[in-house]
């Protein structure tokens, strides 16, 4: 693939797709969310990591998977 085509493909991807890839590579799923969308109560649980204002949950959200 030439440099221009590669750049065009990268620009076409949504930012969340990169986060999905990172989460899948590091946690084995795509259960993540932006920090400001969670309550303090939800974040009291120690089953997540926070990087750059993104919450990466250690476990997949099984309820969400079943709803799709």
Percentage of the chain lying above the pLDDT 90 cut: 65
Structure-derived torsion over alpha carbons of residues 13, 17, 49, 44, reported in degrees to the nearest 10: 110
pLDDT for 30 equals: 97
For tokens 């065009």, what's the residue?
8
- Yes or no: say if 38 and 57 are a contact pair by the CB < 8 Å rule: no
> pTM here?
0.71
pLDDT for 68 equals: 44
Structural domain boundaries in the chain = 15-67
pLDDT for 8 equals: 54
pLDDT tens digits for range 3-34:
655 555 666 679 999 999 999 999 999 999 99
- The tokens describing 49, both together, are 């990591």
């Amino acid at each position: 693939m030439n440099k221009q085509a590669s750049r065009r493909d990268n620009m076409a991807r949504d930012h969340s797709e990169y986060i999905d890839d990172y989460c899948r590579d590091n946690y084995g799923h795509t259960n993540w969310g932006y920090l400001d969308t969670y309550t303090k109560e939800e974040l009291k649980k120690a089953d997540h990591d926070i990087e750059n204002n993104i919450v990466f949950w250690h476990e997949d959200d099984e309820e969400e998977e079943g709803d799709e």
